[in-house]
Chains A and B, each alone.
Chain A
Amino acid sequence: MNTTWVVAKKEILDARRNKLFIIILAMLLLLTLVSIVLSTYQVRASMDGYNQSISFLKSLGKANFPDPPKLNPLAASKSFVNYIGMLGALLAIVLGNYSVVKERRNGTMRLILSRQIFRDRLLNGKLLGNLILLAAICLGMFVVTMLSVLLVGKITLSGDDIFRLLLFFLMAFLYMVFFLVLSITVAVATDNGNKALLITVIIWLVLSFVFPQIGDTMDMDNQLPGGFFAQMGITKDAQTQILSHFKFYETLRDGIEEASPVKHFERAGFALLNVKPGFDTYSPLGVVAIKWVDLIGLTIPSIILWLIAYMVFHKREDIF
């Protein structure tokens, strides 16, 4: 355990010298702040727009009004979750790739492996150090977010809201861990550090952008603004009759979306932050319980990749 901890400490200290890591981290914190500021303005504008729309609907004699917009800036838009999803993943990829490639580049890999350290302990140390770094980053973002909501949004969060925010950053941590492990695994499996980075980025692009985009494209209701059925004036009765013919289509579309860790992170994140309606009545742990599939979707792939990394790192003779 001692050797693992020594390696972990070194990883944490080395991160300070990684310019890219510092830049991405600074951008992530800045974007967190910016998204809360913009969401606050959006909440105010939404309330004005909502009140005008209610008057319009009342003048038509409508009695069923849509729900009012949320006052919590974190619940107002999806951008907060999306920024963390994009930059958080990139940060984790940079950390993971750097932790393996720097040893090769500096020639210290040979030196370390000539010592009395098992290869799996070396990997464990690198993972532990980076996990601590990511956890510290998530905790830092949690504090920054809370302070921003309080000082900029002028909203006092309840105990439940704070706990939900903490759980959201736990999900963000698990999401970033997946990309960290992916990056380490690919770096260990490839000879060239730059190639490893490129491959990891391509995988990230496919999982984070291409799969969700295919899933969105295959949803008919996304093809027209306001929804396909609503735009065509199709009533609910007709809609349900039509949808019964598209079950396989839906299964295929859902399968593609499930393969993306981004979708799992978004689903859990939107539920915890109340971006998606319908979760206000649940307790924070209740939301996690109902989103257990997404939690599994974020955790198990990391475990699978880590076991693969063990085997590859152990097997390779030319790891130097």
Chain B
Amino acid sequence: MKPVLTIADKEFRAAFKDKVFLLITALFFVLSIASVYIGSSTKNAEMTAYNNVVDLLKAQGSSNLPVSPDIYPLAILKNIITYVSMIGSVLAIFLGFDAFSGERENGSIKLILTRPVYRDQLITGKLIGGGMVIGLLLIITLIVNILLFTAVSRIFPTANEIGRLVAFIFTAFLYMMVILTITLFISIKTSDRTFGFLTMMIIWLFIGFVIPQLAETQRNFAMSLNSTSQAVTTVATDTVASRIIEYFSPAAQFESIGENLLQTVSDTAGIGVLSVIFKQAISAFCMLAPGIVLLLASYRAVQKEEL
């Protein structure tokens, strides 16, 4: 166990010494703070717009007032889902892309393997080290977001809302660990770290954008008529094809779980956090499956490969 922790400790410290990593981390924090501000100002704008129209209708003597928009507190934070999906993924890629290929280029991997370290301990140590970095960043994000959320909205979240936030941060942690695991596998398999990094970027583009957009093309668009405004709008509905395509994208599954946890989906906005987790079990499985498979493949690869 000691070699594992030593490797993990080394990964943890090395991450915070890299200027580019610190730059990405700063961007991540800035965006997560900005998401609270943007979300709350947008919600405030919606409530102002609603109050304006109610005043206008009352002044005109109308009694047919529109229903107040459902604004759940945690929905203010919804933009963080996108930022974790984007910047969080890049952060995880950055942590892992030169884990093996970089050590290979430096020649330090041969040195490590002359020590009494099992090959699988090398992977475990790097995973734990990366996990510690990701975990620390997300815990700081969680605390900062709760404080900002309380300061901006002036309401302290309830136990259910805190539970949902914690569950969301944990899901974000698992998602970023999946990306880290995939990146570690690519790093084992490629000899050049630039090649490994760009390969991982392409994979990220696919799971983060291309697959969800392919799923989008398979959705049905029905037209709905709003009875008050008489506006005809199009509403997308999932089809079997679109759902199956989305199962291949951990990013899409993470976003789905995140949206349900952060009260942006009206069906699950009011229920308990455990019920939400239960409902999202399949999405969680689809999100974790590629990570688990490639983790096992990584263990196998290091046993066989000439590292």
**A interface residue numbers (CB < 8 A to B):** 19-20, 23-24, 27, 31, 34-35, 38-39, 41-42, 45-46, 49, 53, 56-57, 60, 62, 66, 77, 79, 82-83, 86-87, 90, 94, 97, 101, 193-195, 197-199, 201-202, 205-206, 209-210, 213-214, 217-218, 220, 223-236, 238, 241-242, 245-246, 249
How many angstroms from the CA of A164 to the CA of B233 in the assembled complex? 29
Contact A220 B90 (CB under 8 A): no
Q: In whole Å, how far is A62's beta carbon from the nearest beta carbon of chain B?
A: 8
Known: A195-B20, A226-B234, A235-B229. A77 touches B198 (CB 8 A): no
Q: In whole Å, how far is B105's beta carbon from the nearest beta carbon of chain A?
A: 10
Contact B229 A217 (CB under 8 A): no
Which chain B residues border A213 with CB–CB below 8 Å?
79, 82-83, 86
Contact B235 A225 (CB under 8 A): yes
Contact A229 B201 (CB under 8 A): no
Known: A202-B23, A214-B38, A217-B79. A38 touches B193 (CB 8 A): no
Known: A87-B205, A214-B34, A218-B38. A79 touches B52 (CB 8 A): no
Chain A interface secondary structure, helix, strand, loop or mixed?
helix
Q: Inter-chain contact count A-B, CB under 8 Å?
A: 172
The verdict on B223 contacting chain A, using a C-beta distance below 8 Å, is yes
Contact B223 A57 (CB under 8 A): yes
Which chain B residues border A38 with CB–CB below 8 Å?
214, 217-218
How many angstroms from the CA of A199 to the CA of B90 in the assembled complex? 12
Residues of B207-259 at the interface with A, using a CB-CB cut-off of 8 Å, are 209-210, 213-214, 216-218, 220-229, 231-236
Which chain A residues border B213 with CB–CB below 8 Å?
79, 82-83
Chain B interface secondary structure, helix, strand, loop or mixed?
helix
The verdict on B289 contacting chain A, using a C-beta distance below 8 Å, is no
Contact A220 B235 (CB under 8 A): no
The verdict on B49 contacting chain A, using a C-beta distance below 8 Å, is yes
Q: Which of B40-48, B131-139, B172-180, B272-280 lies at the interface?
A: B40-48
Q: In whole Å, how far is B229's beta carbon from the nearest beta carbon of chain A?
A: 5
How many angstroms from the CA of A206 to the CA of B94 in the assembled complex? 16
Q: In whole Å, how far is A189's beta carbon from the nearest beta carbon of chain B?
A: 14
How many angstroms from the CA of A90 to the CA of B206 in the assembled complex? 13
Contact A249 B45 (CB under 8 A): yes
Which chain B residues border A19 with CB–CB below 8 Å?
195
Residues of B1-52 at the interface with A, using a CB-CB cut-off of 8 Å, are 20, 23-24, 27, 31, 34-35, 38-39, 41-42, 45-46, 48-50, 52
The verdict on B87 contacting chain A, using a C-beta distance below 8 Å, is yes
Interchain residue pairs with CB less than 8 A apart (9): A23-B202, A38-B214, A57-B232, A86-B209, A86-B210, A223-B42, A225-B235, A226-B234, A234-B228
